[in-house]
Amino acid sequence: VQADGTDGNCVTFVLHDEDHTLGNSLRYMVMKNPDVEFCGYCITHPSESKINFRIQTKGALPAVEPFRKGLNDLMGVCQHVLNTFEVRLFLKSS
C-alpha cells in the first residue's frame, strides 16, 4: 500500500494486486463511518492490477484511521461469513 497526499485528511492509497472485489467492499465499509466525507476508488487501466483508493475525512481525523477501520471491519465480516459457512457445512454433514 502506498499513500499519496499532502493533507492528512485527504489521501489516495494505492493498493497493488487488487481489483473491484476489494475496492467496492472496502469503499462500502469506509463510507459507513460518519467522519468520512468522501470515499471512492478507480482502476487506472484494466491491464493494471492496482486501485487508487481515495478517502477524505471531516475535520482533523487522519484518513488512515477510517482506512484501517474499514479494513478491520471488512475482515470481521469475512470471518463471520466463513464461520457461518463452516457451521452450516458441519451441521449438514452430521
pLDDT tens per residue, range 4-42: 766 789 999 999 999 999 999 999 999 999 999 999 999
Three-state DSSP state, 80: helix
Tell me if 4 is assigned to some domain.
no
Domain of 43 in residue numbering reads as: 10-93
Burial (Cβ within 10 Å: 0-12, 13-18, ≥19) of residue 93: exposed
Say what the pLDDT of residue 86 is.
93
CATH of the domain at 23: 3.30.1360.10
Tell me if 24 is assigned to some domain.
yes
Q: How many domains does the chain have?
A: 1
For 42-55, write each residue's pLDDT tens digit. Answer: 998 989 889 999 99
What average pLDDT does the segment 77-91 reach?
Answer: 93
Tell me if 1 is assigned to some domain.
no
Tell me if 3 is assigned to some domain.
no
Say what the pLDDT of residue 7 is.
76
Please give the helix or strand (H or E) that residue 79 lies within, else none. Answer: helix 64-93
